[in-house]
Amino acid sequence: MATFIPPLEDLRRACVGNGELGMARDLFQSLLKAIIAPSSLQNEAKDRIMQIKAQLKENPKISDIVLDVIWLETSMIETENGKSTYPEPLIDLLKSLVRDIPTLHGPLLEILDASLLKMIGIAESEPDLQKKIRLTNTQQYYRQHKFNLLVEESEGFAKFLYTVCMLLNDRQIVNRNERGSAILLRLIGTFSLDPNRCLDILLDVLDRELEAVNSNVSNKSTTSGSPSTDDYPRLKRLLQLINGMPLDKLPALLAFKLGRCQDINRILCSSAFLVLHEVLNLSEFLTWLPEWADVLESAYNATKKEERETVKAMGRVKLSSASSKNTDEQAKGVDLSSLNNHPATRLILLLLRWNQFSLVEGLFQPYWSMICCLFPDTFGCLICDVVMDSLNEMLKGEQQALWTKQSQLKPESALSMEEILLTSVQKLEYTRDSGCIVLRPGLYCKICRLLAGVLVKERPSEEFINFLRSFILPSLGLFKSHPSFSQEVWKIIEHFPYQTRYSLYSSWRGIGLERNAILSDKPLWLIQGEILAGKDARHALKRLSKDTIRDACRAIAKVCHSHPLVVFSTILGQIESYDNLVQVMVDALRFATPLSLDVLAYCILGRLDGTGGGVNRSRLKDDGVNVSQWLQSLESFIGALYKHFPALELGGIMAYLMERVSTGHVMELGVLRMLLKESGGWAFADYAPAASLSSTQLEGRAGSTLLKRETMSFGVFQRFNKKASASVRRVLLNDDIGVKLLVLLSQLPNQIIFETKGKPSKPVKLIGNLVDTCQVTTSMLLGFLTDASHDNTSSDSATQGANDISSFAKSLPSLLALHDEYELDVASAWMLVRPLLRSKVALSTGDNSSEVVSTAVRPPDLSQEFKDSMLSRKISKHMSFSLFEYFYSFTLYDVCCPEDIYKSEIDRLEKEEERINRQKSSFPLTTTHGRPNLESDDAGELARVKNTGALLAADLKNQKVNVASCKEAIASKAGFFFAPEINLREAASLFFCACVYPRCMKGPDDALYCARFVLLLHSLQVPGFSTMHLLDILTVATSKSLFGLTEGEAANVSILLNELWMTVSKWRYDENEFNSGLGGKVGSKMVDEGDNSSGEITSISYQQFIQMYNKWHAAIGMTALGCLNSKEYIHARNALIVLTRMVGSFPTRPRLANKLLSDLQPMQDENFPFADLRASAQAYSIQLLKARDEGVWKEESAEAVKARLSKEKAAAAARQKKAEEQMEQLKLDSEKITEEIGEKESWGRGERRGPYRSLGLDDSRAARGNGSGVAVSDSRSTHSTPPIAKDRVVSNHRDATGSTRDDSRAAKDRVPTARNDPPSSLSGTPPAARRESEQDSRARGLEGRWQKAPNAEPNNRGAKRSRPPSPADPGEIIQEDGGRNKRPRPDTDDSRHQVADDSRKGYPRRRRR
């Protein structure tokens, strides 16, 4: 190493604290080399060391390094003539260090040479020093010490023990520790006593003292704890004496005593006491004990292996009870006695009982979880007690604040989140795998309340959430059937958003449930609890029905409190398989806690996206078109659940639907539809399928919301939960979820149809269904979000409705933005903003809601940019923007009023009110004879009926005013709708393409609106509007479009065509109607476009209209025939939808009608592949024939009608004749079979089974009593049967006195001798009475089968029933007391069934068994 002088800063930095010891050694070695080596740097190096003399004095470690360097360098100095030569700078340095740092005197004396010691002044004489060194080495290393155990040392030990006792009792020297220890040390030196034996004596004394203290504590029955030296002065004095002894051999001595002592508790108590007072080093003491960690790990592994096998065996089916007993006998558990008796285990346990967990926590950090799993009742509970004591100590006087009803701490007394977590988290994590928190429920409850209290004023940290995830939620499974713990946990996590809660539930669930979680890191006790909860849940669900729901729902709720994930996974799995369980399951959750219901919402979301079971399930059936059963059942359950529990979290499902729709997946839109229908109470808005809408329903959709409710359900009121409806609306309005869904749904149809690149091809029917689903859902969602009434007339509801409309308007982009930025078509964009126009009038004028709505619809200034975006320049040349705006702004509610529907519904409600009042008056007010009190049941219904009728009357009045004002507004602008001197056909074509056709596709309401708006323009005789041209274009275009429409769009087209065709048909077949409705008006003008035409605009005549009608009729008919003959499913389906809707007005020409009937024949064949098309074709054929009979085929000639009727009459007669012949043949066959049975009726049966059923003993034909004890035969028996003796059926009856007499012997005389005797020989009853009884039996119908029979004799032996009885089993006799008797077998040995000898001729003899 080169000689150099290190900088002073480096030396000082190396001397600070521990510093860099290696660097300090190198620096000092360089300095000392510079001092020893003869150079000019000697004095500078010496001065540099002197400058850091203070640091050497303060830091012992640096001093040791300096001493090592001095020893090394001085020993390497070369000697001359046996003596070393030391440089003067080195001697001066050493003298200065000895003088200024006295602590270096002793170390230098040990390491330096004698001559150098003399030079620096430590040793006066070198020979004397050498002599003392030899004496010291001899005494220390070579002389053998011997102890006399017989005389001197025995006396010394006795005096030592006596002195110890005197010191313990002398109160005057308590504080003079040094003197007591000095006395003991002097005795050891005087008698040459072994110090270890003396220390052993002190330890024995300590054992006796601690034993006395513990016995005193036990007698006083105080709580366990470490002995305090303040309470026991003798222990304090003894501890002072022990501290004064040499303690380097103390750990070994205690370990030696433990190995040779019978009662190790005393030694462990002393050891724990010494550890507690820092006399004994615990880690060093444990090294002298037998190996403990290996024993602990082996026991832990064995225990876990056995527990895992036990958990695995819980799900196995044991077929043999003996084998199960043997298995139970073999599973004796792991032997933990060796570990339990280990000194280390007992020492730790003792320290824990003394509340000294902090002393041992760090030392046994890796083993606490194992210890708690092996000994949960002791170690686990003690750790829990430590946490409880720590919390109580921190709370002190605030303990009462924890147990208030609000379960929250006062702000000024609440602990901080950091304090609670620091006190609890790590310690409770030790006990997690053991589950010992179940033994301390108070601690669990207190921690939950503390955490809930701190969340009021602090935001949760990541450590807080992890504690919930790892300990709080899993530990809930330990507290079975206890709802209070579930409530406490819910008070914590209810403050979190659903994303955090669902993340916690996901961690709680892990990779699986029950047996699927065995390979996970879940605690085994949790897996075992899940398995047992699953068994209990399935056991309860097996017995779940409407009759047992009260008991079953309690059983389900008990399991839900602790293991909701398991229960709801099982429930959802069964619901997906059996949809009839939906409502029963919802009712069964009435006792579920809020936490359980929130977990249910998470489980539903998991089932939808596949993470909660059923991974990779197809959302379509095997046909690839229809929605799968599991998804349909789940949709129904979601709707019913959120209707019954409005407070249930809905944000998660809405976010999931948003994510699915944004990626183009629409299979889950049924969930949104069910939520709107069931929970939102918007079922009346679901018009799908539109083809099934009746005329009343369709007309009712032109009225108010209330009228729609009444007509869509045919007067059946569907109750809905207003709280649930408000909850769904609130979720949809929050964060603009509803508006986002509307925009996405409006974009989806084009994506489904056109964006197919990189995606598998879909069936055409599936594409059509998806497009229709998007359209229906959009319509329902839009109506739900923009409904201002909220089905209530209160002021609060109206105010809330206005606020919701205003919120919707603020969220909705402007009309221009919807069209340009979001790329919605014109009809879709106007559809979204149209409800705001009606709401603008209804909103209050006291706020800026009206301005918000107006701005959302269109710019206030109606700029040219806005007009150009909506209409092309070509359209704007022929049609004004005002017509465009009026057409898209108004709704069906604004252009027509269904007054007849209003009045019919009001009349129906009045009749319903009368019925309820009449029903109330027919029953008493009180309940008698089991009758319910109908007044209380019908009070709510009566009020609803009255209120609904009054509201409908008010709606009718308001709608009339609204329709009049709208028509007036249209009429005022009608003259400016079309530009003057335009091409009428071009204008009609542009109006159809820009307005009528796009809006017609949006739904049945819009289709009907388009038809009514066209007729309105025709009635107003709008200049430039040619109704004939529009009808010509519309009829041909819409009919041809059937080849490219979905089923829903075809239904919309059918409504448009039917509404217009009914008017056209009137004009065609009634010239007066033509003249009053069309002839000579503006709408009748057409441009002459023939080959030789001049292009003039003229009004068409009636004959010309007939020609146009025939053209349109043929166009629709040819398109329908082409669709029916097409091989594509959707073509035929669309044609049937349109034809079925128009069957009342089309076709009117018999040639086309007959052609349709003939083309429908192949579709009605049983071998036709599409069952739904076959049913639709059969239904339409029947309706078409009915329409023919009702005169819809107006052009059918009288001769053709007459010929058809005669042909049908002849066919009916032929069918009647054929039926009579078949009946006659059937009667002959029946008689023939009867004869054959009469000849061979006993073959193979004989005495074993008795007579055949034809003898009258069949259940359905058994003879019955007529009320007077006389048997009456069943009138339904058409063939002749042998008569049966009265005693064969009626064994006994009561006479006038009520006594029972046996008529069996007398009956023998009345038994017929021939098989073909008339039935009148059954008894002495006159034939007329018997016929009257038979007529009675016919009038009763089936009731005659269950006639009461006389009681059987007590000694009768009936045959054993081979099947369980049913409530109306003909094999049973209903007794008068309501009980049932089995009918006796006819082959039993009973006098009631004796038959005369002459009647048994030709029969095999009866054999007795």
DSSP character string of 430-487: HTTTTTGGGG-HHHHHHHHHHHHHHTTTSPPPHHHHHHIIIIIHHHGGGSTT-HHHHH
CA distance 51 to 7: 11
pLDDT of residue 929: 45
Helix (H), strand (E) counts: the chain: 67, 10
Burial class of 388 by CB neighbour count within 10 A (0 to 12, 13 to 18, 19+): middle
Residue type, 782: L
3-state secondary structure 259-312: HCCCCHHHHHHHHHHHHHCCCCCHHHHHHCCCCCHHHHHHHHHHHHHHHHHHHH
- Token pair listed for 882: 């005002």
Q: What's the sign of the alpha-carbon dihedral 1202, 1203, 1209, 1212?
A: negative
For the chain, 1409 residues long, the average pLDDT of each consecutive 10-residue run is: 62 60 71 71 70 69 77 71 70 78 75 77 73 72 56 75 84 51 84 88 90 71 62 85 88 89 87 90 90 91 90 72 48 79 91 90 90 92 92 71 44 69 91 92 93 88 93 92 91 93 93 86 90 90 83 88 92 90 89 93 90 72 87 93 92 93 90 92 88 92 91 80 91 91 93 80 88 94 83 54 79 88 92 80 43 48 65 83 90 93 93 88 55 58 89 93 93 88 86 94 95 94 92 93 94 95 94 91 83 73 94 95 93 95 94 94 91 94 92 88 88 92 92 78 45 40 40 39 38 39 40 39 42 44 38 41 39 40 40 38 40
φ/ψ (deg, to 5) at 291? -60, 130
pLDDT for the residue numbered 179: 66
Give the CA count within 13 Å in the CB-facing half-sphere of 810: 12
In the DSSP assignment, the letter for residue 373 is H
CA dist., res. 1241 & res. 1260, Å (int): 18
To the nearest 10°, report the CA torsion of 861, 863, 869, 875. 110
What local confidence, expressed as pLDDT, does residue 233 receive? Answer: 83
Q: What is the pLDDT of residue 135?
A: 73
- pLDDT of res. 828: 93
Q: CA of 407: how far to CAs of 213, 303, 447, 809, in Å? A: 42, 39, 11, 42
Q: What are the start-end ranges of the E strands in 910-1059?
A: none
CA dihedral 588, 591, 592, 594 (to 10 degrees): 140
Residue 1165 gets which letter from DSSP?
Answer: S
Q: State the distance between the two ends of the chain, measured CA to CA, in whole angstroms.
A: 124
- Burial, 730: exposed, middle or buried (Cβ in 10 Å; 0-12, 13-18, 19+)? middle
What residues contact 1032, with CB distance under 8 A and at least 6 apart? 1108, 1111, 1112
Query: Dihedral, CA atoms, 714, 720, 722, 728, nearest 10 degrees?
Result: -100
C-alpha 27/C-alpha 44 separation (Å) is 14
- Give the integer Cα–Cα distance in Å for 419 and 436: 23
Contacts of 490 (CB under 8 A, 6+ apart): 593, 594, 595, 598
> Would you say the C-alpha torsion 1166, 1167, 1168, 1172 has a positive or negative sign?
positive
Q: What is the C-alpha R_g of the chain?
A: 52
Q: Are 1330 and 1272 in contact (CB under 8 A)?
A: yes
Helices (H), 1241-1342: 1246-1249, 1286-1289, 1304-1308, 1327-1340
The β-bridge relationship of strands 1097-1099 and 1264-1265 is unpaired
Question: Which residues are CB-contacts of 128 (< 8 A; sequence separation ≥ 6)?
Answer: none
Strand bridging mode 79-80 / 83-84: antiparallel
Region for 947 from its dihedrals, namely left if φ exceeds 0, alpha if ψ lies in -120 to 50, beta otherwise: alpha
Range list of H helices, 1347-1402: none
Question: Inter-axis angle of helices 1047-1069 and 1027-1040, to 10 degrees?
Answer: 140
Packing angle of the helix pair 564-577, 498-509 (nearest 10 deg): 90
Helices 1102-1124 & 1047-1069, crossing angle to 10 degrees?
Answer: 150
Token pair of 848 as six digits: 């800026």
Give, for 1087, the enclosing helix (H) or strand (E): strand 1085-1087
**Pseudo-torsion of CA 994, 996, 1000, 1006, nearest 10°?**
110
d(CA 1255, CA 1276): 14
Q: Is 738 exposed, middle or buried (0-12, 13-18, 19+ CB in 10 A)?
A: buried
